[in-house]
Structure 1
């Protein structure tokens, strides 16, 4: 009997842990000027989230089309989350971008960061602003 109770408790714990995570948590930007995030704590790294009026399905389809237009490679695709790699044309530097759709707030939280180096000449911020403009 005691064993059954322990197994039920452990099962419920893992079920609740998996279900309670409906929202992806975007990684915090490092203390470098080559990262932007709509959830940043530092003003130098902060960028506004993308606001949308469509359903999740429609905005996600639009977002994927825009990502393809900017030659992004989708690395991870979950229901309300995309992880994308972008590469610079000349040197092939990799930037990783995260897009998290929050349906109840009608926003897309964004984060984009260079994977190497210290300074990116504002490339990640400019790309996110271009993506925002394309989605309007």
Structure 2
């Protein structure tokens, strides 16, 4: 009985229901809790800026992948045409945050979303993470060259 309760409790910590994405939006919406930031958020307090790119979309995605994986304790869990999803674990308690990056070839910008799976507050961790990734992309710091030699 107790063992089943513990297993069920742990499962709810790590299970996240699928989030539908509408035709107008590239990323799942942020919940009402302050532990999510997105370039497509409707609340100003949750919004982060996009980052422009001039590369071909495939090269922009490759640069985004390098910038994302430069974050500590980050595992890429999905990669498809113009989209990356990763899980970032906190150092001490190993809480999981989901990070999404979309390469928008029409607007030529990166769209971002970072959200905690559990809890209500993240102490600004998701915003800081996206700021670091955006800074890497904007400065092209430590990212592969997109020009051939």
Scaled by the length of structure 1, the TM-score of the pair is 0.79
1:97 is matched with 99
SS in 1 for 2:45: coil
1:111 is matched with 113
1:18 is matched with none
* CA distance in structure 2 between the aligned counterparts of 1:90 and 1:79, rounded to whole angstroms: 33
Aligned length: 116
Map 1:44-123 onto structure 2 (within 5 A). 44-71=45-72, 72-123=74-125
Q: Deviations over 1:81-117 (max 9, x none)?
A: 1111111111111000111111111111111100111
Q: Which has the larger radius of gyration?
A: 1
1:28 is matched with 29
* CA distance in structure 2 between the aligned counterparts of 1:132 and 1:63, rounded to whole angstroms: 9
Q: Would you identify which runs of 4 or more consecutive aligned residues in structure 1 move more than 4 Å?
A: 21-24
Q: 1:23 Cα shift?
A: 8.0
Query: Taking structure 1 as reference, are residues 38 and 64 closer, same or farther at Cα in structure 2, changes over 3 Å only?
Result: same
SS in 1 for 2:46: coil
Query: Taking structure 1 as reference, are residues 62 and 82 closer, same or farther at Cα in structure 2, changes over 3 Å only?
Result: same
* 8 Å contact from structure 1 (residues 38, 48) kept in 2: yes
Query: Taking structure 1 as reference, are residues 132 and 108 closer, same or farther at Cα in structure 2, changes over 3 Å only?
Result: same
* CA distance in structure 1 between the aligned counterparts of 2:98 and 2:120, rounded to whole angstroms: 15
* CA distance in structure 2 between the aligned counterparts of 1:121 and 1:115, rounded to whole angstroms: 14
> Unaligned 5+ residue runs, structure 1?
1-20
* CA distance in structure 1 between the aligned counterparts of 2:70 and 2:26, rounded to whole angstroms: 26
Q: 1:41 Cα shift?
A: 0.8
